[in-house]
Each structure stands twice: as structure tokens, then as C-alpha cells.
Structure 1
Amino acid sequence: MVSPVTVVKCEGPKLVPFFKATCVYFVLWLPSSSPSWFSALIKCLPIFCLWVFLLAHGVNFLVSRCGAKRIFAGLIFSALGDAFLIWQEQGYFEYGLLMFAITHILYSSAFGMKPLDLKAGVVMGLISSFLYTLLYAYLSSPFTYLVGVYTALIAFMGWRAIAGVQLCNDLWTWTKLSACIGSLLFIVSDLTLAVNKFCFPVPYSRAIIMATYYAAQMLIALSAVECRDENEYKKKIKVT
């Protein structure tokens, strides 16, 4: 199994632009009350860097791996969703919701249906149902239905990511674990956004939403790198 230290040495340098772009977003901290194309660019820049991160592994890498292609496509729809949410107060929130719904479908497809792990699916179904029940009292049409569908999609994505991590059987890989943690952080980010928008103000909501969101996207992008051989990583490190 590939050690975390080896992974960091190999993949870390490719993620430097992402970390810099994320720092730029938090340092500038452009006010959300005055949306602009510049603020949309700054918000989307870390996601653009994750595009570059995956492309840095080679076009053949993306073409030959269905999971990587779907995650790359998910990142494209995520950037579109980010841009729409910049103008959410101007009536584009639903469009952002749609873009991220497509993202979760693509990520779920990338994670696959094996192993099935019905127990994890039942647990995620119960948790998502409970959370939606809490939100339901604050929702009005059409969000009653839109948020319900979106909750089901992100819960499904979380299930497929969690199912891939078989800790008890010692069959997990760092990529599977990365997908799992990333998906859970995505759920935390979206739950915070939903509570803050529909229920009541959450202290430091924007910082929580964006920090967990960027971390989630980075980890999911990392999960696309399915190199599991220690020697292969060592060769890459020597080359770089």
C-alpha cells in the first residue's frame, strides 16, 4: 500500500497552485453583497487549479480512466455552480443548485457501485432524511422539492464514497479514503449553506462553507489519481 508520505511527495507539488488560489480567495474575501465577474473568477480559481492538477497527470490519464473523467467533468460543473451562486440573490441560486446536483451525479458515478455496502446506504439514507426533515419546516415551494432531490443526490454520493472504504477488511486505499473524507466535507459545506440560507444565520458561515468546500473538492480530485503502486510513485518522485 502506498504510504501517505510518498503520496504527499508526489502529488503535493501539483497542488501548490490550488493552495495559492485558495489563499487568494480568503485573503481578498470579496464582499458577497456586490457580485461581479471578478469575484466569480476568484471564487472559481481554486477549482480551475484542480482542473490543471488532473490535466498535469496527462490527457491519456483522463481518457483511459472513466472515474477520473467523471471527476474532471464534475469539477467543471462545480465551477459553473460557483459562478451562479455568486449571483444567488439575483435569482440564480436554483441554477447553482442544478450544477452541483449534476456534479454529485458525476462523482457518484466515478465512485462506482462496488462494493454495494447496503448498511452504509441505510445509514446515509436515515441521516439525510433526518436532516431534510429539519430543513423542511423552513422551505417553501419550489425549494421544498429542489432541496429534497438535492439532499438525496448528495447523500447517494456520500454513500458511494463511504462504501469504497473497507477498513474492516483492510481493502482500503488512500484514494478511496480521500473520496470518503471529501464527500463528507462536501455534505458539511452544503448543510451549513442550507441552514444559513433557509433556517437561521450560522456564525462564520461563509468561512465554514468555503473551507470545507475547497477541502472537499481537493480530496475528491485526489481520489481520481488511482496510482496504487509504491514503486510507481517513487519513480515519479525521482523524475520530478
Structure 2
Amino acid sequence: MTSVAQAIKGVLPRLVVFFKTLTIYFVVFIPQDQPSVLSTILKCLPVIGLIVFVILQTKSAGTESQFSKYITTGLLFGCIGDALLVWHDFFDLGVVSFLIGHLLYIRAFTFQPLNLVVGVVCLLISVLGSLFFWSGLHGVLIVGAPIYSAIIMVMVWRAISRVEFSENKWTWSKLVTCLGAISFAISDFFVGLNRFHGPFAYDQLIIMTTYYAAQFGIAISILDAKLEPIKNDSSCTSDMKSVPINSHEKAY
């Protein structure tokens, strides 16, 4: 797995801040029912680490793009949302901040290729999710929650569509980003479950694990480590094409 190993080796030094702050968060692990300045800082630091990673990676490649700017700004709004959600009274504002972040991710991922089948499936999941939480919604969330649900599933749709398995254009970075987007939807489902149906066992651990995995996957979208398409010749099944890690723009 030469290209994968090269990809990991190339980005790990720039991910040190993320992994260190992630470890600190889970080691300290301040319960979510104990909001404080410290818990807010610890919660935000891993995403700040991902912002640092994106900036360092794009600077190193020497090709800052609109794509990387959208991803960086989306992560920033996610970080703001993290801080707001620590405090119960700012939940609605936190949702708005994350919604803006998702819109920025959608803008980065674009609508090409379209892949309407995936879009319809994601829309259906969004509707079912809204119906599931409907009885617990009140105030502005009666309108806001379904809108948020639709937006995040559009983001998932665009992330999945970018992978392009059928066209042999897939890359490891796109695959990880796709999994990250799905993980974001899963994390938000558990946030809603905790908020509107009450706490459940290991809720904070599940929510934050899937959330950090999601933001990590989306941050990885600026990279490209592509494997050679699988050939029909059985003698070539283990061959891979090594491609240097670089910015998203160079992947196209």
C-alpha cells in the first residue's frame, strides 16, 4: 500500500496538533452537564488543530484555492458552534453556526457530478429524521430543525457524489471525506436524540467521537492520494499507483 503509506507519512506531522488536542479532550473528558470555559476550550481545540492542518497543508503545497478557503471557514464555523453548544442557552445559535459551516462545505464540494439517486435517498433520510424528532421540537426549531436536517443531508449527498466509484475517479481523500460527512449526520442524530429525547448511555462519547471523525474526514478533503484503478488482469490486482500528496486543486 505504497500510496496510502506515503499519504499518511506526508500529512501526519501537520496533524500533530489535532491528535494531541483530541487526546487531551478524551483524557480530561469534562461531562457535558458541567459547562465551563475550560470545557469549551478543550472541546474547540481539536477543530482548531484541523484548521491549522488545512492552512499548513495548503501553504506547503503552494496552492491556496477557493476549495481550501471554504473548508477552512467551514471548520471555523464548526468551532464556533462547538463553543456555543457547550452552553444550553446558546443551542439555537450553535445550530445556526453549524448550518453555515455545512453550506460552506456544500459550496466546496459543488454539485458536479449530480448523482440524483443519492440525493433522493439523502432527502428521504432528512424527512424521516425530522419526523422522528418532531414531537420534541418547539419554538424556532420547529422550522429550523427540518431546514438544518435538509442542509446536512445535502452536504452528505455532495460528499458521497464526489467519490465517483463507477468512473474509476475515486481517491482516498474523497472516500475519507465521504465517510466523514456520513459520520457528521450520525453525530447530529445523536445530538438531537440527547437534546429532544433525553440523555442516554455514553451519549457524549458517541457524539464527540463521531463528530471529530466527521471534521477530520472533511479536513482531509484537501488531500489526494489516488490508487491505480483495479484491472481485470488478475496479475495486476495488487499493483498501485503512487501519487504524491498535494492540494485538492492538483487532484483535478
Aligned to 1:10: 10
Is the aligned partner of 1:134 residue 2:132?
yes
Alpha carbons of structure 1 residues 152 and 73: separation in structure 2 relative to 1, 3 Å:
same
- What's the TM-score, normalizing by structure 1? 0.90
Q: Deviations over 1:8-49 (max 9, x none)?
A: 111122212211111100111113233222211111010111
Aligned partners of 1:223, 1:134: CA distance in 2, in Å?
31
Q: How far off its partner does 1:171 sit?
A: 1.5
1:112 is matched by which residue type in structure 2? Answer: T
Q: Which runs of 5 or more structure 2 residues have no equivalent in the other structure?
A: 227-240, 247-252
Aligned to 2:249: none
- What's the TM-score, normalizing by structure 2? 0.86
CA RMSD of aligned residues (A): 2.1
Q: How far off its partner does 1:226 sit?
A: 4.2
Alpha carbons of structure 1 residues 62 and 225: separation in structure 2 relative to 1, 3 Å:
farther
1:22 is matched by which residue type in structure 2? Answer: L
Alpha carbons of structure 1 residues 63 and 9: separation in structure 2 relative to 1, 3 Å:
closer
Alpha carbons of structure 1 residues 106 and 129: separation in structure 2 relative to 1, 3 Å:
same
Alpha carbons of structure 1 residues 140 and 176: separation in structure 2 relative to 1, 3 Å:
same
* SS class of match (1:57): helix
In the TM superposition, what are the counterparts of 1:72-83 in structure 2 within 5 Å?
72-83=72-83
CA contact (8 A) 2:7 2:244 kept: no
Alpha carbons of structure 1 residues 61 and 68: separation in structure 2 relative to 1, 3 Å:
farther
Aligned to 1:237: none
Aligned partners of 2:27, 2:64: CA distance in 1, in Å?
38
Match of 2:166 among 162, 165, 168: 168
After alignment, is 166-175 or 102-111 more displaced?
166-175
Alpha carbons of structure 1 residues 28 and 72: separation in structure 2 relative to 1, 3 Å:
same
1:65 is matched by which residue type in structure 2? Answer: S
1:178 is matched by which residue type in structure 2? Answer: V
Aligned partners of 2:2, 2:133: CA distance in 1, in Å?
41
Aligned to 1:194: 192
Is the aligned partner of 1:157 residue 2:169?
no
2:203 is matched by which residue type in structure 1? Answer: S
CA contact (8 A) 2:18 2:49 kept: yes
CA contact (8 A) 2:3 2:243 kept: no
Q: Which runs of 5 or more structure 1 residues have no equivalent in the other structure?
A: 235-240
* SS class of match (2:165): coil
Identity rate of aligned residues, in percent? 38
CA contact (8 A) 1:161 1:180 kept: yes
* SS class of match (2:244): helix
* SS class of match (2:57): coil
